Amino acid sequence: MIPHPIPLAPHGIFVTGTDTGVGKTLVATALLRAFARSGLRAVGMKPVATGCRTDAPDRANEDVAALIDASSVRAPIDLINPYCFAPPIAPHLAAQQAGISTSLARIQESYLSLARLADRVVMEGAGGLLVPLNRDEDFGDLVRLLDFSVVLVVGMRLGCLNHALLTAEAIRSRDLPFVGWVANRIDPAMPFFEDNLAFLKQKLPAPLIAVMPFAPDSARACSAIRLDLLAARHP
């Protein structure tokens, strides 16, 4: 059973993706820099990281290191990344190998500590919204518990329409606030890119807040983000 949700100011953003390797870290760091540019204190969080080392200041993990670098607030690594596992495998399997069960309550405690330090917490998931965290709970359960708003990263390549619509359906079925999506051009040679983009703009029930060019640097990625287009949360 997950803990009961507690009332929180809606200042958490959860970045999920249509798959792994679609640019969640790129978008999460761009959001962090955009929030900082707008005058807000922003800190990144990666609740579960795999393929890393607990003895390294940045967990020797590219995602965690990038989030730390993009944050305008300094925070203890154990708050930014409560769970760190060495095997580069699915989070729940890595936890099983370590002989533990990932606890949503522990992640919640870390988030609350970060929320006291910052105006915005940008949390990056692993894989997609329904990736399991333990035997009974997934990232969708975590988002609901923490009352986060969801930003979806769509990796623009063949197959992305189905992946994007399925993820949007999962967000809707969990009754989570879907406040925006990003089209990330991970395949520069994708046929009919503009047609696919137009289809998703019509079908996804959240505003398009950025179109990321292929392999942008951090400055271009930050400039692409339109915070003003983030949708208002539903009650």
Report the 3 state secondary structure along 146-171.
Answer: HCCEEEEEEECCCCHHHHHHHHHHHH
Q: Which two tokens stand for residue 81?
A: 């990344």
Residue 136's alpha-carbon distances to 9, 103, 124, 200, 233, in angstroms, are: 27, 11, 20, 31, 27
Indicate which residue of 24, 46, 201, 203 is catalytic. Answer: 46
- What is d(CA 58, CA 178) in angstroms, rounded to the nearest whole number? 30
CB neighbours (10 Å) of residue 112?
A: 14
Contacts of 24 (CB under 8 A, 6+ apart): 15, 16, 17, 63, 124, 125, 153
Is 46 catalytic? The answer is: yes
Identify the helix (H) or strand (E) that includes residue 210.
Answer: strand 208-212
* 7: Cα separation from own chain's centroid: 21
What is the C-alpha end-to-end distance of the chain, expressed in Å?
24
Report the 3 state secondary structure along 9-32.
Answer: CCCEEEEEECCCCCCHHHHHHHHH
Catalytic residues: 46
